Structure 1
């Protein structure tokens, strides 16, 4: 099977250093395998989105020399696909409506105990939709880090595939998108290790082989907090990308030649594709960037 990878940012703000780590990690892995690299805009949550962020993200990728294969996919254009799958599972009994609130679940220790699983609720108003997890996924194999264990309580929890506010859940959308786009391996940040078991569960419910996974180290601040839009991580410089690109490549474990700073962005990326290896990635799942 030919390799297909992807980068799937959410348009909640401009790309920051951690975003570029995920973009370049996925790009180098795809191109080192002579594969395709796709871009998908995960615009599932309008209240969290920043106007103009989608086009700014694409402009930033282009300014850093990252050119995607095929056309960009937008999750906001795929709602019918998600809803059809949910309805199929509701009819078959693999999914059910749940009226429990976050407050109620928090009072139960933060984990959902299956309260509504057998209530046979049939009124979707003010209800979420949950998947009935019958075979918990308690571990998976990461292509860099090996065996990753998932806490038992988290693995067995019936999880949400459509929210109470009517928005589709990330786990469902990302799996259906990856299947429909033919993605063979997902390279992403280590902050997304936790939902991996749920996503594998969805693949199995859909009778589709799950993708391979690689989780890149997270860029964190001095306090150990992930560099993110929520934590006000600064946007990367879109006009002079070379310095940031060099820092991203060092973060990803490259040992760069002494004259590397004199190369063009295109030459840097070509060199990176030729010298990339998962073995070079740091073993740590979180790193403070050295810049």
Structure 2
């Protein structure tokens, strides 16, 4: 199968140094494999979205030389597909309604492990819907972080796939769309490493293919914290892309070509020497 990778930002703020590094890393992996690089806007959490940020992110990517190979997909246009997946899980008895509050789950360290709701059903309010998880370890080999394993029942428990408000979870939408778009490798930040076992379990239950995974190290702030889109000081400037693009390449272990005068030339030079096996596994890289 031909390689297909993707960059899937959430419109919760502007592109920052961390998300640019993830975009560049996924682009390099796709181009190194002579494959396609797609862009998907994960806009299914309206309360967290920042108006105009999707448009700003999409406008910024070409300024950094990052051109998608197909039409951008918006998850907000894919609700019917998530409905169908949810109904499939319902028919198979793999989800259950849950009215549990945080206080209800406090005695279980905030986790739900019973495969059924422990609170009384409340006909006056809608439930969340949770995925029943197995009492087994989900294992996979990450392309950069190596062998991984997670006991879903002990670590995350029966996780929510549709919220009380009716919004579908990132886990379900991501799995459905990765399969629909034919993604063969997911390259993203290591903050999503612990989401992968849940996604693999959903893929098995929905009888969808499991892509390969490669989780990049995170760009951190001066205090060692993950950069947040909400931190205005972490903006990058698409009008002057070369400094930020050179920084992203350096973060990924690539020495930027000092002779390159525009983003496309800088990326081409990086690609000529790129090897995903030489990506840094972890980083203490700080953005002041």
Instruction: Please give the range of the TM-score, normalised by the shorter of the 2 chains.
Output: over 0.9
| 1:267 and 2:265 matched | yes
- The residue aligned with 1:75 is 75
How far apart in 2 are the matches of 1:71 and 1:124?
42
5 Å-filtered alignment, 1:1-291, equals 1-114=1-114, 116=116, 125-134=125-134, 136-151=136-151, 153-154=153-154, 157-232=157-232, 234-257=234-257, 260-284=258-282, 286-289=283-286
How far apart in 2 are the matches of 1:120 and 1:269?
57
Deviation sequence 1:43-79 (CA, Å, 0-9, x none): 0111111111111001100111110011000000111
Give the TM-score normalised by structure 1: 0.91
CA distance 1:159–1:233, change in 2 (3 Å) = farther
CA distance 1:165–1:193, change in 2 (3 Å) = same
Q: Which moved more, 1:206-215 or 1:192-201?
A: 206-215
Runs of 4+ in 1 over 3 A off after TM superposition: 117-125, 135-138, 151-156, 230-233
CA distance 1:124–1:225, change in 2 (3 Å) = farther
Native 8 Å contact 2:137 2:149 kept in 1: no
How far apart in 1 are the matches of 2:13 and 2:32?
29
Deviation sequence 1:149-189 (CA, Å, 0-9, x none): 32564457221110112110000000000000000000000
Q: Which moved more, 1:224-233 or 1:60-69?
A: 224-233
Q: Which moved more, 1:135-144 or 1:121-130?
A: 121-130
List alignment gaps of at least 5 residues for structure 2.
none
CA distance 1:279–1:248, change in 2 (3 Å) = same
List alignment gaps of at least 5 residues for structure 1.
none
How far apart in 1 are the matches of 2:92 and 2:124?
16
Q: Which moved more, 1:229-238 or 1:35-44?
A: 229-238
How far apart in 1 are the matches of 2:149 and 2:76?
33
Which secondary structure does the structure 2 equivalent of 1:40 belong to?
strand
Which secondary structure does the structure 1 equivalent of 2:194 belong to?
coil
Deviation sequence 1:100-144 (CA, Å, 0-9, x none): 123322442121122625999696942111111236443321011
How far apart in 1 are the matches of 2:28 and 2:199?
24
Q: Which moved more, 1:85-94 or 1:102-111?
A: 102-111
Which secondary structure does the structure 1 equivalent of 2:286 belong to?
coil
Give the TM-score normalised by structure 2: 0.92
Native 8 Å contact 1:97 1:120 kept in 2: no
The offset of 1:267, in angstroms, is: 0.7
CA distance 1:152–1:97, change in 2 (3 Å) = closer
Which secondary structure does the structure 2 equivalent of 1:138 belong to?
strand
Cα RMSD, aligned residues only: 2.2
Which secondary structure does the structure 2 equivalent of 1:195 belong to?
helix
